[in-house]
Structure formats: structure tokens, C-alpha cells
A and B are shown apart, each in its own frame.
Chain A
């Protein structure tokens, strides 16, 4: 994850340098129309599994305004705003019980989404929004808060478990469940020597809720 942080910073730095250079160039050639900076179409977090596709955006849902029929989506540092109409296809979104006519209010800020859009005169128009589906975990493989509480109260030695926080390091640093160690999912391969030697011992994974 450290590597990811560094790349985020250098990305931001590159953007800044890019925009300064752009300004300088614009001043030199005032007649030439300013080129809009190219925005990414896939957020880094989605890029672990997905490639950019024309007419598609992948990022984190930010907000919806039904009054103007607009969706705001974050793609890392960039923000995209798309209009939509009543024909917008909505997938994997649970509409709020008290507001079934405005289902996008059921999307939480930050939720990973894929949007299909068309573009005309620089204006993006969304035709489909699909939220990332929940990965199914078989019931017998799940543990509940009470189970984790019992384990934590015993401690890893007595409880004979390893509690693993699969979130990125910055989230782990902000606060973690007591006795947990951090093995971010993207670093799984690199850190597999941290796993217990005994393959039959109990391992409990958690993150910020399965999304």
C-alpha cells in the first residue's frame, strides 16, 4: 500500500506540473485553444481488476441531484458529472424504503460504480449505473460481531486465531480491531509469510464491511 501512496502523490505532482506546463504553453500560444486535461476513466481502486473501456467510467459514487438529474462520481482526484434521464438503467442498487422513486439515494457515498455513458459536445450522459456487487460468503464461513468479540477478549494465543485486517494500510493506521494485523488484499502474495505456519489454525479476515 505504501507503494500505492507514493504513486498517488507522484500522480498528483505530475498533474500539477502538467497544469503549470499547460499554463505556460497557453500563454505562449494564446491563439491555440486550451486543451482540457485528460481525466482518468478508471479509479485506481477499480484498476486492480478492470481495464478502461470506451463509454465506461469506474469510480466512487459521490452524490446525486434528482432536481437536475445529475450524478457526481469521483475517479481518484478527478470529478465527473453526468446527466441522466428516466431511462437510466440502475443495477445492484437498493432503493431507500421511504423513497422508491429516487433509487440512487440508496447508493452510499464512496460506493464503487460502473457507469455507461454517451458524450455529445463535451457533455456526458449516463445510460447505466451499476454498483459493485457484494461478494457472497457462504454462511458457514462467516463470523459475527459476537464471535469476534469473544476471540478478542481471549487474545490470539488463548483464542488460537489470527485476525487479519484486509484494508489498505492508511485505513488500518486510523484504527483497527484489537489484536488484528494488517495484510492489505493487494499485498496478499507479498505478505503470505505472515500467515500462520499451521494450515488448520483459525484465520479471520475483515475489512470495512463486504462491498
Chain B
């Protein structure tokens, strides 16, 4: 979008138009982003988009008033606190605020970026701006535990729930194994039915409509494709978005990617 915009600006007669081709994906490797308190509220909190909101003020200050959902990680102890953040490969968006959007927020952001976290956002104007905008303020103790749960994809079943069903499948449920025959022959979950993903469109008759279908494969990719095919046909269906290892005894290991 930026090269197109640059071309249009040049057509209007602008003579010094540049394009930062690498854009945000490169920027966030070395720098923080910013967002306004209004955007924090509207684009993240109100929409319930998973993120980590960090209050970096001293705890005594935060407790007088903070943004709902924030965890306390005082800037003074940020280096030691990094181990408490979710693993960086989860790519949790991290929003940081201090009192006024100043040095403490920058210090915390720098420490997190140096540790490989991205994206890290600083809330412009900090808590004062949030309060001034009339947005809701909470008082009391802040959470210390940093929790980040990525939003599941449509149709995804919780990994714990799948494990429960796989150990004892209720009569109204069918586990559909959509891996290929070789994979199935090497071991399947007890009670599961094997219909390789590529055969589903030809084998709907074998898949009961009156049961809840839970599809799995070995990574979640084929299971998701199976989910879409079955959903389109009116099935009640979910899929497991996780790595699955099954041995010849039917014992299984699930791992969230």
C-alpha cells in the first residue's frame, strides 16, 4: 500500500517522497510502536483482542488507579521480570503504560525489545491520558501473573477438552482422524474413525450427522480443512489445532504449537 500511496503523492507534485519498504515488521524488531489511550480501549480492550497490558509504575502508585486488565511490572525491576512474560514466540502484543507516557514506559519497552519481544507498544500519555479521557479506572491490587491466551481459530476445540474426549469419548461424539492410512495404521486414538482428509468429500455418508464431530490430524492443518468441509455440509464439528503424536497402543501426546 505504501508504494501505491507514494506514486499517487508524486502525481500530485510532491518531489521528496520516500518509502520505508521494510515497514512495521522490521521496525518492531528494534523499536516500540505507539498507540493512543482511545485506540488501546477501542482496538484492543473493547474488542477483546488478546494482549498483555503492563503497568510499569511502582505498585503503590498503580494501586491508586489502573487500567482494567493490567498486570503490575514496575519498570525498576523489568529485567528480572522478563522471565515472567509469555514465551516470545507466542508473539503476544505487549502494551506498556506508565504515569505520563514517559521514561519508565520507554525503559520497560527497551528491555522487552532487547529480549526479543515484538510488538511492544507504548500507550501515549500513559495513565494520566487514560484518566483524562474519562475511561474507567480500577483501584486496588493488580494482577502479577502475566497471562496471554491467543484467540482460537473458528471451530478450534480447547486442547484440554480434546484430551478429555480422547480419553473417554461420550456417546454423542465422534473423533474423526483425518490423517492418511499409513499414519492411522501406526496408531489411532481409541474409538476414532479414520477418514483421510482428501476422502471426506466422497465419504460423507460414513460420517454420522447426529454426532458431534471432532477432527484431528498431526498438526491441525488438515483437521482445519476437514472442519470447513464438514461445517459446510451442516455438521456440528470442531477441530484440534495442535500437534498430535499417537503410538501403536493409542496413547497420545498433544502439544500446542
Contact = CB atoms under 8 A, between A and B. Distances in A.
Interface of A: 34, 36, 63-65, 67-70, 72, 79, 81, 83, 122-123, 135-137, 141-145, 147-149, 152, 164, 166-167, 170, 173-178, 183-185, 188-189, 192, 195, 199-210
A166 B3 CA distance: 9
Contact of B39 (A79, A83, A174, A207): A174
A115 B44 CA distance: 34
Contact of B201 (A67, A123, A143, A144): A123
Contacts of B13: 199
Most chain B beta carbons < 10 A, residue from A34, A36, A148, A203 = A203
Given A123-B201, A164-B5, A200 B15 contact: yes
B219 to A, nearest CB: 8
Nearest to A148: B20
A201 B21 contact: no
Contact of A70 (B4, B14, B198): B198
Nearest to A145: B26
Contacts of A170: 43
B197 interface: yes
Contact of A207 (B24, B32, B34, B43): B24
Interface in B118-132: 119, 121
Contacts of B48: none
Q: Size class of B's contact patch?
A: 35 or more
B200 to A, nearest CB: 10
A65 B197 contact: yes
Nearest to A45: B1
Given A68-B197, A141-B17, A149-B30, A173 B39 contact: yes
A203 B5 CA distance: 11
B165 interface: no
Given A81-B228, A174-B35, A210-B21, A185 B5 contact: yes
Contacts of B234: 34
B147 interface: no
Contacts of A210: 2-3, 19, 21, 23
Contact of A185 (B4, B31, B119): B4
A79 B16 CA distance: 42
11 contacts: A65-B217, A67-B180, A137-B19, A142-B20, A173-B42, A174-B43, A177-B24, A195-B12, A200-B15, A209-B24, A210-B19
